[in-house]
């Protein structure tokens, strides 16, 4: 309890990637550019989907949720990392660390589940187009939007409360970009092996079933697309699906490394690089991957910008 009281009073020090980099100023500038890009691109995509009535269909409503999650996810981590580096102050309070962990787990878990629903949406649209409006009716669509937020929030509350209840040793330096479970457990004075197993089981439960659903959906989609008589329809379906699979690969690759691989295979440097990838790089790239190859989104963007700039 003594250690815990000490932690409550003084908080932690985040020893992120900027502290270990050989060129911290250059890396900080790159991270700042990526953050501005993420905010701008996701903000524009959200604006276009909200304003343009032609995009008020399930596919784009789900894409809008992905943009919202990415925008919030990167904002939970990146501004603090940049400001801390500029002020040479990497401290974070106990409550601030708990809040950051809760938000990161919520947004990461919600995106994980949302990507599976987005794959199902594409499966229905391509494999069962005549039943699309029945299978993806508004009630089902809103359920798909709400479910990731609710389940991820409940999971995040449980993990945050349990992780932060451990007594932490006097060395309160978190060798990571943000407050996450694996690096925090390394500071715990009590035996956390049972909880590490629970984190692993939760990670597998949250990651593998959605990933299996995504792979199954795209296997069926590919089978259907290859049998399409129309070359134009085949090309459009492949472009849409390749965009989704690129995002899936980036997100699930990083999440699997962080929460499924055994802790013995982790190193602080690797964890920092992976955390930069899924909290900063991926949110900046996602809207570009979806919008640059999507004629409907680009057309809507031109209409919206033309309307507001004239």
Q: Residue 170: is its pLDDT beyond 70? A: no
From CA 1, how far away is CA 187, in angstroms rounded? 14
pLDDT tens, residue by residue, 301-310: 888 777 766 5
pLDDT tens, residue by residue, 18-38: 766 677 788 889 999 999 999
Tokens of 100: 């950051």
Beta-carbon count within 10 A of 281 CB: 19
- Pairing state between β 12-14 and 91-92: antiparallel
Three state DSSP letters for 182-225: HHHHCCECCCCHHHHHHHHHHHHHHHHHHHHHHHHHHHHHHHHH
From CA 218, how far away is CA 197, in angstroms rounded? 31
Tokens of 119: 């794959």
| Residue 278 DSSP one-character state | I
From CA 304, how far away is CA 301, in angstroms rounded? 5
Tokens of 75: 């904002």
pLDDT tens, residue by residue, 106-140: 999 999 999 999 999 989 998 999 999 999 999 99
**Mean of pLDDT values over 182-209:** 86
**Mean of pLDDT values over 210-238:** 83
pLDDT for 213: 93
Q: Residue 1: is its pLDDT beyond 60? A: no
Q: Residue 2: is its pLDDT beyond 80? A: no
Task: Answer with the residue of higher pLDDT: 237 or 50.
Answer: 50
Tokens of 79: 């501004």
User: Is residue 112 a contact partner of residue 210, using CB atoms and an 8 Å limit?
Assistant: yes
């Amino acid at each position: 309890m003594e250690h815990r009281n000490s932690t409550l009073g003084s908080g932690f020090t985040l020893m992120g990637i900027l502290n270990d980099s050989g060129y911290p100023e250059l890396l900080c500038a790159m991270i700042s550019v990526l953050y501005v890009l993420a905010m701008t691109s996701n903000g524009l995509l959200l604006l276009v989907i909200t304003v343009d009535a032609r995009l008020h269909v399930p596919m784009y409503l789900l894409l809008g949720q992905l943009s919202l999650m990415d925008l919030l996810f990167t904002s939970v981590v990146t501004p603090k990392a940049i400001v801390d580096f500029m002020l040479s102050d990497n401290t974070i309070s106990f409550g601030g660390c708990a809040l950051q962990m809760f938000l990161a787990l919520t947004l990461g878990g919600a995106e994980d589940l949302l990507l599976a629903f987005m794959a199902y949406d594409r499966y229905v649209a391509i494999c069962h187009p005549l039943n699309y409006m029945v299978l993806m009716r508004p009630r089902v669509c809103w359920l798909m939007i709400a479910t990731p937020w609710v389940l991820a929030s409940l999971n995040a509350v449980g993990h945050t409360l349990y992780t932060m209840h451990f007594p932490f040793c006097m060395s309160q330096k978190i060798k990571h970009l943000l407050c996450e479970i694996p690096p925090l457990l390394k500071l715990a004075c009590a035996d956390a092996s049972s909880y590490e197993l629970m984190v692993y089981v939760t990670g597998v439960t949250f990651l593998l079933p959605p990933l299996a659903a995504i792979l199954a959906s795209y296997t069926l989609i590919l089978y259907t697309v290859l049998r399409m008589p129309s070359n134009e329809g085949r090309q459009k379906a492949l472009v849409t699906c390749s965009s989704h699979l690129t995002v899936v690969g980036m997100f699930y690759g990083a999440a699997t490394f962080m929460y499924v691989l055994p802790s013995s295979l982790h190193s602080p440097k690797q964890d920092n690089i992976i955390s930069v990838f899924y909290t900063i790089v991926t949110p900046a790239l996602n809207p570009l991957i979806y919008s640059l190859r999507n004629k409907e989104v680009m057309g809507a963007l031109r209409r919206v910008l033309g309307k507001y700039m004239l």
